[in-house]
Homo-oligomer: A and B are copies of this chain.
């Protein structure tokens, strides 16, 4: 099973996606820090739960297909032989939030604005943008019915994308109420509504004709209704047609109102050209109750973020009946959109070679001095005593400088500093090593704590 995950290649420097290596991890850590900074700027507060939940907390919440993708944990000790599971790895960040609100709501502020960042697990067949372990960064507002809450959720997510450096994205917006109004206005029988919406959701992949045919065949919708619906939704002036049509329905009008309110509040920040009413957007049909949105980016299939209002979910999950809205960023897809960037950066600042006998203690002292000055410093730890071999190691480590401390250096009480880019060598007294390196550096700054991509 694990071996089949090699198809996942959107994140660079992976080890068969079984492990992430340094450069990919630094980029990732930096992206998390950027996202966290934006979420904190909005006053969202972090909440972290354990990786696993009770199994019954998760089952029945994600539909039949979702249930099959839950990783279940076998009972332990004397119960292991039953072959039953009692715990399960979290499938998203929303259900654990709902469980916490249900159990500890009285200890939480109202409204409660939280963010969560971390892995979720799905027993999916890996490949094509699908992962068995991937990170989600969620913001949610629990306990506010205000349109401002929806606007802040959308803006927090797009601000985070801006901060990370994602540029070419759009934010299609719709409303669950508008979709109900749509079905009503076009005379779709109530019992066919859910299925019709699922098929309409294919309009971004299939031609209008095919969708209309599917509506008539698979969903038993009258062909004239199917054609009118698809025709209006795919017309060049679809938005205007919908704005007119939806006014004939109470739900449709309410939906239009909440969409317009979101556009009004969030457009100044996001841009009118990017935040757009998209009458055919049907995402998260299962539990959304108000506005819905997603973020799509040039060069990445599917969405890189999504969310909406889900006023009924927390009570369905056993919590109090409180309004809520939220959204989620898909970190792997976002990182997939970022360029490589840091390939030529120095991996460490100083490589300390060791060629003379009995100098290990002194070299450790030099290294400590440099590390205290904020320089990433490594000492040669392999067995060779040949300088050429150790300088090759320094080059392989992409060191900015190498220190050489031979017998003659030791006698003269100096250290030779080799610029690994130019090959030039200078000498410095041991006590002034850090200051000397600060002076001799021309371009680089210490990369410590900053990933190459951030420079």
Contact = CB atoms under 8 A, between A and B. Distances in A.
A119 interface: yes
A320 to B, nearest CB: 15
A360 B85 contact: no
A148 B448 contact: no
B449 A37 contact: yes
B41 A377 contact: yes
B269 A368 contact: yes
Interface stretch (A16-24, A179-187, A213-221, A402-410): A16-24
Nearest to A396: B109
Interface stretch (A99-107, A202-210, A299-307): A99-107
A144 B382 contact: yes
A73 B71 contact: yes
Contacts of A49: 18-20
Given A141-B381, A144-B382, A25 B50 contact: no
Interface in A34-70: 36-38, 40-43, 45-52, 54, 68
A20 B117 CA distance: 13
Count class of interface residues, chain A: 35 or more
Interface in A268-297: 268-269
Nearest to A351: B43
A149 B113 CA distance: 46
A58 to B, nearest CB: 13
B21 A45 contact: yes
Most buried by B among A113, A265, A364: A364
Contacts of A37: 448-449
Interface in A79-120: 80-87, 89, 96, 99-100, 103-104, 107, 109-111, 113, 119
